[in-house]
Structure 1
Amino acid sequence: MAKSRGFSIYLLKPTFSAENALKEDHNLEQIDEDNTNLPDGSIMYISDKPGNAPWWKNYWGLDIDLYQAQKGAIVFLPVDDRWVVLTFGSTYHQLKDNSFEYDFGLRTTLNALDPKKIKSTDILQPENAKRQRIQSPTASSLNFFDIRHDESIIKKLTGSVKAEYNDLFKNATGANSLRISSDLQPNQIIDLCRSLIEIYEKEDYLQTFPDIRNIEPVRDPDIIILLNEKLLDAFTEAPRELVLSIPEIVDYSDPFKVKYSGAGRSSLEYNDVFIAGYREYLQERNTQIDDVDQFHRHYMSIMDENGNIIRQYNIYKSFLFDCELNEKTYHLCEGEWYFIETDFINRLETSLNPYFIDNHSFLHPCNKVREDAYNNSVSTANANVICLDKKNIAPTGQTQVEPCDLISIIDNTLHLVHVKISTRSSSLSHLFNQGVNSVELLRLAEESQQKLKELVDNNPEICTLIDSSKYSVTYGLITKKTDLFAKSLPIFSRISLLRTVNALKIMGIPCSIFLIYDNIDRKNNNAVDID
């Protein structure tokens, strides 16, 4: 029986071949030998670097000659009107970043896999950049891996293929490249690659894994160049869709200042993040933005009251931006571009819009710069509303959990209201999770229930509702976008919100979202840039 061997396989884009796919500064040597087993028309390069001694040789003072050889190869195979590349060792780094199809490995694997025989997944959650590898001791269905298709991205997938492909290969791992093992001989490799391209071009995965590609990171440099051009145009035209945000959760109750740098020193500083401040800084420095790379070289610094920098981010990473390219929707978040399936966006809006309400009994328009001031104003204007902003109901020894910003009784239910300025704050997901965590604690932890009773001065009516766990949750989002409902939120905030309302629904807790009109001109008041 022929021995099975491993192959890492890339598919070049139609405009690339062996002549232009390698980096200009590659250090590979082309093989020019007769009587090899290479298929006709194929081209092979090898890497045969002289090895260095391992670090531990000198560390332990050894005199013996020890060398780590670095050898590898790249084989370019002509397959009809395309080129396929087989890489051995680490030579894949010698390929130009934009030379190959970035979805070849994953899509081919999705089309070929038996959906009940998956062995491993690598998952990314764009919302918080959480990465996770999940492995199963036995081949399992995708359900075993607990993948939330509405918020997770499959980066890599490994499993056994369907019976119809067993003659070609038994297992597959897909990412940018396709990793398979095969016992086929060199004269059969071209036919194997032809079959792989045919599998890649199928759309079987849409039936087998219907929701697995709702959100995908954009890895193709050519597409990223076009998207960055859209970003540059948007910065010039200043649409509402392009905003700056702090790409981490921030406690807005702690005072801080914002300064911009990278184009020269400036005395300008701001009380919060808004894109007009960055524009003002550029104007002061007489700097024109004509290249996206400038966004990578310019920085937004978050400083404490003493002027010490506590966090710093480049401007590119701080942009939030939705746009369309070739009738497809893309989202820029924390320096990464994502493709969002159009049908998925529509399903999100259909699911979320019913939770948005047109009016509220006590949440009035906002005339305050800060959230805490707004919350206090609502409580002052309504005798039956208690402000619990910055209060804590977490059990002893646990991280602080705020019960809500405002609490009141409506229709014999304890109404918990969570308020946030801006519908594009990077901390929206934190706000949504806070609402769920608060209710869970109040239902499960007697100490948390007691703390809430004390915070409301043991109001008998409220205490009775706490004992009976009769709650409802409302998220009040202060914005000028009061007529867009779910479209008011960035795409990943919508995903987070859908997860939240579903979690509350399982607990039997009514949930609503109310868009509070913002009367503050935040650009002129050095406050949070809303719209």
Structure 2
Amino acid sequence: MHAVDENGDSTYQWGIWRCLVAEIQHGGCTYVLDEGDFYRVSSDYVDELDRAISAIAPSSRVLTPTTRTTVEGDYNIAAANDPALLLLDKQTVRIPARTTAIEICDLLSTDRQLIHVKRHLGSADLSHLFAQGLVSAQLLQSSVDFRRAAQQKIREVRGTKSGFTFITEQPIQTSQFEVAYAIAERWNGRAPVDALPFFSKVNLREVVARLQEMGFRVTLSKIDAH
């Protein structure tokens, strides 16, 4: 596979195997193809992993469906027409302890839901999604600088919207907050446990465990893309 620039020149290339993702049942074992490598996974491990993913409840906040051609940013803008949702996609903040800018979430609800939205079910995209939710939640819990910066950013973007004053410099009660992951895809009736790539499920289980240890509620919801 080749990536080409506007002049038709090849700028990067990679093997076709890296484009393929599969989970195959054969001879009582599960085989996973990811990033060009095959893995044999214990059936007991797969069963335990799937139980953990199935146990993640959907959010009470139902997000509107989208289309297959709507990009993530445009979807978030449209969703924020809801007066109970504030658009924070691409509204990053910086704090002295971090060298890179941090996104609080894509959509913030008046019910204290930190909603992180991602299009498609690619492993790399989902890894970014899960990490975004974890980093933001950790900093909300532990960093007064981050809470102060988040408070200021929310003031800047909320306009006439009300109900978004619950993040202050004071420590938060994590049990009052929900880290809500929402994935837009053509689900075709599939549950997340059946559609998520194997290593994304492994990553998600780890992230959920860490967030729950901190006291956050964690949800996983589907956004149907027709």
TM-score, normalised relative to structure 2: 0.86
Secondary structure of 1:390's aligned partner: coil
One-letter amino acid of the structure 1 residue matched with residue 181 of structure 2: Y
Secondary structure of 1:478's aligned partner: strand
One-letter amino acid of the structure 1 residue matched with residue 76 of structure 2: N
Structure 2 Cα separation of the partners of residues 308 and 395 of structure 1: 40
Alpha-carbon spacing, 1:474–1:308, altered in 2? closer, same or farther (3 Å): farther
Return the match for 1:315 from 9, 12, 16.
16
Alpha-carbon displacement from aligned partner over 1:32-68 (angstroms, at most 9, x marks no partner) = xxxxxxxxxxxxxxxxxxxxxxxxxxxxxxxxxxxxx
Describe how 1:324-403 pairs up with structure 2 within 5 A.
324-357=25-58, 360-367=60-67, 368-380=69-81, 382-396=82-96, 398-403=99-104
Secondary structure of 1:502's aligned partner: helix
Unaligned runs of 5+ in 1: 1-298, 520-531
Structure 1 stretches of 4+ moved >6 Å:
none
Secondary structure of 1:364's aligned partner: coil
Structure 2 Cα separation of the partners of residues 327 and 391 of structure 1: 48
Alpha-carbon displacement from aligned partner over 1:504-523 (angstroms, at most 9, x marks no partner) = 0100000000011111xxxx
Return the match for 2:128 from 430, 441, 446.
430
One-letter amino acid of the structure 1 residue matched with residue 180 of structure 2: T
Is the 1:362–1:378 contact (alpha carbons within 8 Å) kept by the matching residues of 2? no
Describe how 1:394-413 pairs up with structure 2 within 5 A.
394-396=94-96, 398-410=99-111
**Residue matched to 2:178:** 472
Structure 1 Cα separation of the partners of residues 100 and 121 of structure 2: 26
One-letter amino acid of the structure 2 residue matched with residue 441 of structure 1: L
Is the 1:353–1:486 contact (alpha carbons within 8 Å) kept by the matching residues of 2? yes
Is the 1:393–1:449 contact (alpha carbons within 8 Å) kept by the matching residues of 2? no
Structure 2 Cα separation of the partners of residues 510 and 305 of structure 1: 45
One-letter amino acid of the structure 2 residue matched with residue 455 of structure 1: K
1:447 Cα offset (Å): 2.1
**Residue matched to 1:498:** 205
1:369 Cα offset (Å): 2.2
**Residue matched to 2:193:** 486
1:425 Cα offset (Å): 3.9
1:461 Cα offset (Å): 4.5
Q: Which has the higher contact order (CA 8 A, sep 6+)?
A: 2
Alpha-carbon spacing, 1:312–1:366, altered in 2? closer, same or farther (3 Å): same
1:342 Cα offset (Å): 0.8
Is the 2:150–2:167 contact (alpha carbons within 8 Å) kept by the matching residues of 1? no
Structure 1 Cα separation of the partners of residues 84 and 163 of structure 2: 11
Alpha-carbon spacing, 1:447–1:369, altered in 2? closer, same or farther (3 Å): same
Is the 2:177–2:216 contact (alpha carbons within 8 Å) kept by the matching residues of 1? yes
1:325 Cα offset (Å): 2.2
One-letter amino acid of the structure 2 residue matched with residue 336 of structure 1: D
Alpha-carbon spacing, 1:444–1:305, altered in 2? closer, same or farther (3 Å): farther
Structure 1 Cα separation of the partners of residues 144 and 171 of structure 2: 12
Secondary structure of 2:93's aligned partner: coil
Asked which structure has the greater CA Rg, the reply is: 1
Describe how 1:43-442 pairs up with structure 2 within 5 A.
299-301=1-3, 303=4, 309-357=10-58, 360-367=60-67, 368-380=69-81, 382-396=82-96, 398-410=99-111, 414-442=112-140
1:424 Cα offset (Å): 3.0
Structure 2 Cα separation of the partners of residues 501 and 492 of structure 1: 14
**Residue matched to 1:229:** none
Structure 2 Cα separation of the partners of residues 417 and 390 of structure 1: 13
Unaligned runs of 5+ in 2: none
Alpha-carbon displacement from aligned partner over 1:443-479 (angstroms, at most 9, x marks no partner) = 2222211221122117784333443524210100112
What is the root-mean-square deviation in Å for CA atoms of aligned residues?
2.2
Is the 2:65–2:224 contact (alpha carbons within 8 Å) kept by the matching residues of 1? yes
Structure 2 Cα separation of the partners of residues 307 and 439 of structure 1: 43
Structure 1 Cα separation of the partners of residues 113 and 14 of structure 2: 38
Structure 1 Cα separation of the partners of residues 92 and 23 of structure 2: 36
Question: Which has a greater percent of helix?
Answer: 2
Give aligned pairs, total.
215
Q: Percent identity?
A: 26
Alpha-carbon spacing, 1:308–1:320, altered in 2? closer, same or farther (3 Å): same
Alpha-carbon displacement from aligned partner over 1:133-155 (angstroms, at most 9, x marks no partner) = xxxxxxxxxxxxxxxxxxxxxxx
Secondary structure of 1:457's aligned partner: helix
Alpha-carbon spacing, 1:356–1:300, altered in 2? closer, same or farther (3 Å): farther
One-letter amino acid of the structure 1 residue matched with residue 141 of structure 2: R
Question: Which has a greater percent of strand?
Answer: 1
Alpha-carbon spacing, 1:498–1:306, altered in 2? closer, same or farther (3 Å): farther
